[in-house]
Structure 1
Amino acid sequence: VPLHQAFYNTRADKAGAVVHLHSCYSTALSLLPCDDITDWLPHLTPYGIMQLGKVRLIPYFIPGSSEIGRTIEGLAGKHAAVMLASHGPVISAKTLEAAVYAAEELEATAKLAYLTRSLEPNILSNEQVQEIVKQYNVEWD
Structure 2
Amino acid sequence: MTEAKIREELVQFSKSLFERGYSVGSAGNISVAVDDGILITPTNSSLGFLDPARISKLDRNGVHISGDKPSKEVFLHRAFHETRAGTGAVVHLHSTYATALSCLSDVDPDNCIEPITPYVVMRVGQVKLLPYVRPGDPAMGDMIRALKGEVTAVLLANHGPVVAGPDLRGAVFAAEELEETAKLIMMVRQLPHNRLSAAQIEELLVTFGKS
**TM-score tier (shorter):** over 0.9
Aligned to 1:62: 134
Aligned: 1:3 with 2:76: yes
Residue type at the aligned position of 2:82? N
Q: Is 1:77 the counterpart of 2:160 in the alignment?
A: no
Tell me the distance in 1 between the aligned counterparts of 2:130 and 2:155.
Answer: 6
SS at match of 2:98: helix
C-alpha distance in structure 2 between counterparts of 1:50 and 1:92, whole Å = 14
Correspondence for 1:122 among 190, 194, 205: 194
How far apart in 1 are the matches of 2:109 and 2:192?
Answer: 19
SS at match of 1:14: coil
| Conserved? CA contact 1:38–1:57, under 8 Å | yes
Q: CA deviation at 1:35?
A: 4.7
1:37-74 deviations in whole A, cap 9, x for unaligned? 12110011000000011111111110000111000000
Q: What's the CA shift for 1:80? A: 0.7
Identity of aligned residues (%): 47
Give the match's secondary structure for 1:92.
Answer: strand
Per the TM alignment, residue 137 of structure 1 is displaced from its structure 2 partner at its CA by 1.1
Residue in 2 that maps onto 1:101:
173
Specify the code of the residue in structure 2 equivalent to 1:112. Answer: L
Gaps in structure 2 of 5+ consecutive residues: 1-73
Query: Is the helix fraction higher in 1 or 2?
Result: 1
Aligned residues: 138
Q: Tell me what 1:88 maps to.
A: 160
TM-score, L = length of structure 2: 0.63
Matched, 1:31 2:99: no
Aligned equivalents of 2:132, 2:139: Cα separation in 1: 10
After TM superposition, where is structure 1 displaced by more than 3 Å over at least 4 residues in a row? none
Aligned to 1:43: 115
Where 2:190 maps in the other structure, the secondary structure is helix
CA distance in 2, matches of 1:35, 1:89: 14
TM-score (norm. length: structure 1): 0.94
Structure 1: runs of 5+ lacking an equivalent: none
Q: Deviations over 1:13-46 (max 9, x none)?
A: 4111011000100011111234531211001100
Pick the structure with greater CA Rg: 2
Q: Report the secondary structure of 1:9's partner residue.
A: helix
35 and 24 in structure 1: CA distance in 2 versus 1, 3 angstrom threshold: closer
